[in-house]
Amino acid sequence: MERLASGIAGFDALVQGGLPPETSLILQGPPGQEKLAFALAFLAEGLRTGGSGLVVVSSQSAESLLRDLRRYGVDVERVVKEDRLRIVDWFSWGEETVTDVEERGAVVRSSVDLTNAGAAVSRGIAALRGDGPRRAFVEMLSPAMNVYEAGQVYAFAQSTKRKFDRFHFTALFLLENEMHSAAVLTTLHQPFDGVIEIERSRSGDRIVRKIGVLHLKDTTPASDFVPFELTDQGIRIGPSAPPPPLPPSGAVAPPAQPARAPRPSEARASRIGMIQEIARERLRIDSEDRDALFTLAAAQAVADDPRAAVRTLERLETIDPDYPGLWAFEMKLFARLGDAERWKRSRERALRASAESEGQGASPCPFCKAPVAAGSAQCPHCMADLREETDLFRGLEDLVRATVQEMVQDRQGAKTQPTEAPAPRPRPVLKAPGLKPVPKAKGLTNGLVLERRPLRPVAVRKTGRVNGLHGRTNGLTNGLRGRTNGLTNGLGHTNGLTNG
């Protein structure tokens, strides 16, 4: 069977000499540059050998993508002049207003609407020339899941795959598998012809990257995941470092070093991923959940994805432009991205919101005395952080940790601390007709019968008393008369229980 060279050194040996032509595959892995490097090498191989290519990009601009292709050895000016390359830009709508579908040379820009994105793909396919094999990669499925429901993204992926099948493309669809649940991944995998997976983990102080093929049409792939290196020239399949030399015979092996505990950064990344997944689940139930959108944007910003965070906040802006902290958060993100114009716009909106809140529960900033809306995390005038803890996730963790510690201390205290005897209730002194009250019993000891007699007899029996208290033992009482700890009280009730 004819095979298509992947362009990745060492990968074709894993799939019987290359990829099956005219197939559409899922390339999934963790967030990072590995998937994009694989896809760029795959596309560059086709362009260098006379083929044509289509790219649907969402994480970077078209200009940045062209620079990457030059780095992979593609004569960009030539392939653009020969109409062998088209870029569908689903990135620019987050930077500026894009109306429907706009063609600018080799770039076809689309608005956020998936229908327009599908139309842009069709225009890009129609504009391609050349008789060589056609290749494509789509890098917008996971970002689209931040904006649309899984069913809508699935429909877009299925429609795009059918277009590629009709026009004889070999295509890769990039997917961040850690962002989605197993059920969503299974659904997205259904229409495709195979799945290639990238893994990334830490071994000691080294990052280990591996790649494997879960399944592939008309192919019996290698069953093992193999390591690879990520370099400036792309991906190279093979061991990332030579094995350590064997010790000479008779040498004493060094003592084994204890395994290191996972670094806090790994646990933090896991928590951030969990927070994002919870927020997305809430958005699947209610696509206008304001708190879920803001939480998702915060998690994306902490995960070093400010552009995705901006897109999420823009979605929140269309739903509730007065959401507390929205404009201050956008200011931070635009400052991080170096976008001065949009930073200025967000600052103006933050100042306007602050002015509108004046007299409506606003409080003065402790630093500049300007009015600040209630619940604001930052002063829009002096940019002072008004929270005691600037890290949202650390604050949440501290709150949970404090609550758990209090619960544990309460439980341990109940087990270890001796139970104090409750103060006995005051008893009325029983009097017989015509007799004086009994004087207080003093000098009594535990377990000894009352030794001192009152001057006059009383109507109350004294035999069988301990501690000078009637019907009570060892100085402990449950506050009810006629009950004892395991002793019969004359009513036939034991163990402190009574039936009334």
Where do the structural domains in the chain lie, given as residue ranges? 12-237, 338-388, 439-474
Instruction: Give the span between the Cα atoms of 217 and 16, in whole angstroms.
Output: 12
CA-based diameter of the chain, in Å? Answer: 127
Choose among 39, 131, 49, 132: nearest CA to 87.
Answer: 39
Q: Who contacts 226 (Cβ-Cβ below 8 Å, separation ≥6)?
A: 10, 14, 210, 211, 212, 237, 238
Instruction: Give the span between the Cα atoms of 71 and 463, in whole angstroms.
Output: 105
Choose among 472, 478, 471: nearest CA to 497.
Answer: 478
Dihedral pair phi/psi, residue 150, rounded to 5°: -60, -35
Fold of 12-237: Rossmann fold (3.40.50)
Q: For the chain, which ranges sit under pLDDT 50?
A: 240-247, 249-262, 388-391, 415, 430-433, 447, 449-451, 454-455, 458-460, 462, 468, 472, 475-477, 479-482, 486-488, 490-492, 498, 500
Please, what is the Cα angle at 400 between 394 and 405, to 5 degrees?
A: 120
Instruction: Give the span between the Cα atoms of 173 and 318, in whole angstroms.
Output: 29
Task: Provide the β-strand partners of residue 174.
Answer: 27
Q: Which amino acid is at 392?
A: L
| Residue 386: per-residue pLDDT | 61
| Residue 298: per-residue pLDDT | 85
Judge contact between 41 and 7, C-beta under 8 A. yes
Helix axes 392-416, 264-285, angle to 10 degrees: 100
Q: Which amino acid is at 66?
A: L
pLDDT in tens, 231-290: 877 788 865 444 444 445 444 444 444 444 445 555 566 677 778 778 787 887 888 888
Q: What is the CA radius of gyration of the chain?
A: 37
| Residue 388: per-residue pLDDT | 47
| Residue 151: per-residue pLDDT | 87
